[in-house]
Amino acid sequence: MSAGKYQQVVALAGGVGASRLLRGLVRVIPPESLTVIVNTGDDMVLHGLHVSPDIDTVVYTMAGAADPDRGWGLAEETWNALSAMERYGMDTWFALGDKDLATHVFRTSRLAAGAGLATVTAEIARAWGVVPRILPMTEDRVENRVVVEEGGRELDLHFQEYLVHHGSPDSVLRAYAAGVSSAQALPEAVAAIEAAHAIVFCPSNPVVSIGPILAVPGIGAAVSRSRARKIAVSPIVGGAPVRGPADRLMRSAGIDVSCVGIARYYAGIVDTLVIDERDREQAEDVATHCKCIVANTLISELRASEALSRILCEGVDIRTPQE
């Protein structure tokens, strides 16, 4: 059966939480029916190589090749190249494993040869046997930046510098996506949104993952005018992010660090928010902004990811092959 005969699903994704949801989702819906639009605001050039952290995490996880403990990078990785770089005094604060380096070398060489990021991403996904279509949010340069206060002065850092090199300090003044207002959406991404029966907002950081995707001119507008059912999974459980510095960044943006804050942030965009069982007592407050579903959203295990994915499908009325 061709992909066009399936009910089409678009997922907006960034990072580990999204990847863990997606690996369950492709087990309950036909993989051919899924298009994933991935945040590229965390992309950077390191050691002359174009690194796309969120794209690679999505691909590796959906391929079953990601490191299960870290949630990013490849399983059974080695670090010989990184150790050799230290000999030459090179910066090694961003860990690139030996097998992972091959991905970045391939991407950089293909981009240098004139291929677009969407084409290269499709080639990488194909090499890993990943069937869903993986699209970058744009092929233009967008940088997630975080401004922090340190020693009485402001530091304007690339998000990965903030997260990894500086250890995600609490002193966040603001975060922004440099270049996003002039970026162009991929026509394929807009077309996928327009054809979607459902749009899933993965449990990703709303400020530096989902926010930049929606801020790309053309994508946010397409989502807004889409008649697809829109469902989000809260990345906040028990008043804290499941992982990462979402709380610091949300506070800097004036967003309450709670599932209610997430509901308020997505109000008017999503129809339904799935919150964790630990936040059940806040369901009534969430329901003042959108429909609320209570479920287990901690999905480090594949079985839990599949269970949550089935709940999402029910929430947006997507029939699965088992039904």
State the number of CA atoms in the 13 A half-sphere of 161 facing the CB: 15
61-85 confidence digits (pLDDT tens): 999 999 988 888 999 999 999 999 9
Residue 61: which residues within 8 A CB-CB, separation 6 or more? Answer: 16, 19, 20, 22, 23, 71
Residue 92 to residue 84: CA distance in whole angstroms: 10
Beta bridge partners of 51: 44
Tell me the percentage of the chain whose pLDDT exceeds 70. 98
Fold (topology level) of 3-140+181-315: Rossmann fold (3.40.50)
Confidence (pLDDT) at 319: 74
Confidence (pLDDT) at 115: 98
pLDDT top residue among 183 and 244: 183
143-176 confidence digits (pLDDT tens): 999 999 988 899 999 999 999 999 999 999 999 9
What's at 133, amino acid-wise?
R
322: confidence class by pLDDT, cuts 50, 70, 90: low
Confidence (pLDDT) at 212: 97
Q: What is the mean pLDDT of the chain?
A: 94
Sheet with 291-295: strands ordered across: 133-136, 34-38, 9-13, 198-201, 229-233, 272-276, 291-295
- Residue 93 predicted with pLDDT over 90: yes
Residue 131: which residues within 8 A CB-CB, separation 6 or more? Answer: 26, 31, 32
Confidence (pLDDT) at 1: 35
Confidence (pLDDT) at 2: 41
Domain ranges of the chain: 3-140+181-315, 143-179
Lowest mean pLDDT among 131-140, 165-174, 271-280: 165-174
6: confidence class by pLDDT, cuts 50, 70, 90: confident
236-257 confidence digits (pLDDT tens): 999 999 888 999 999 999 999 9
